[in-house]
Chains A and B, each alone.
Chain A
Amino acid sequence: DAKTTQPNSMESNEEEPVHLPCNHSTISGTDYIHWYRQLPSQGPEYVIHGLTSNVNNRMASLAIAEDRKSSTLILHRATLRDAAVYYCILRRVRGQNFVFGPGTRLSVLP
């Protein structure tokens, strides 16, 4: 699987937008970009995924660079509940398991 690089940690203030970056310069044409998050003492939770176009759902937005070598997860208004480790993962269309990196630990300050 292609590798992703994320900052180890980020901080945000409550109710402000958060942009979590991910670099994936070796991405292939069939790799989907997935974002999961892990709240303290819980299992990973699906956030969003995309292939080429930007994606929006009720949790977040995913902005994918035109060359697909990077992407950004956008939380439009961070809440204290959004404090978690966020994982950016690449997965082939017919791939099986996810390969988790260390992720970005997001702290949200009141």
Chain B
Amino acid sequence: EPEVTQTPSHQVTQMGQEVILRCVPISNHLYFYWYRQILGQKVEFLVSFYNNEISEKSEIFDDQFSVERPDGSNFTLKIRSTKLEDSAMYFCASLRPGTSGGMSETQYFGPGTRLLVL
């Protein structure tokens, strides 16, 4: 069964450095998402992306964050200047279109990237 993949699985960075987290969504999916989960806390929505633009974003997704789909397969999350509080698991998800042309409701999540900011 096709699955969402994410790289790297772990990343350690210094505060203030830029990081890019990469995701390869399932190939026929059209909607893409980033979520994060701080250790011991709930999964939080960051941003959704459709038709090459952001469709929705949360308060967490400030100017330090950006997303891109540079080549039609990868979907990336960039954090420009990391802070200690950015340490978390970051999950990418994608959603497949419904068979009737409408939007299927099932999101498929990747295994996550564990980001540690020192």
Which residues of A are interface residues toward B (Cβ below 8 A)?
Answer: 32, 34, 38, 42-46, 49, 87, 91, 93-94, 96-103
Contacts and interface: CB of A to CB of B under 8 A. Distances in A.
A94 B4 CA distance: 22
Interface string B67-108: 000000000000000000000000101000000001101111
Main secondary structure on chain B at its contact with chain A? strand
Contact of B42 (A32, A34, A101): A101
Contacts, number: 53
Contacts of B43: 38, 44, 87, 98, 100
A98 B42 contact: no
A43 B31 contact: no
Contacts of A91: 105
Chain A CB within 10 Å, residue with most, of B4, B35, B105: B105
12 contacts: A32-B105, A34-B105, A42-B111, A43-B110, A43-B112, A44-B93, A45-B109, A96-B31, A97-B56, A98-B107, A100-B35, A100-B43
B55 A96 contact: yes
Contacts of B55: 96
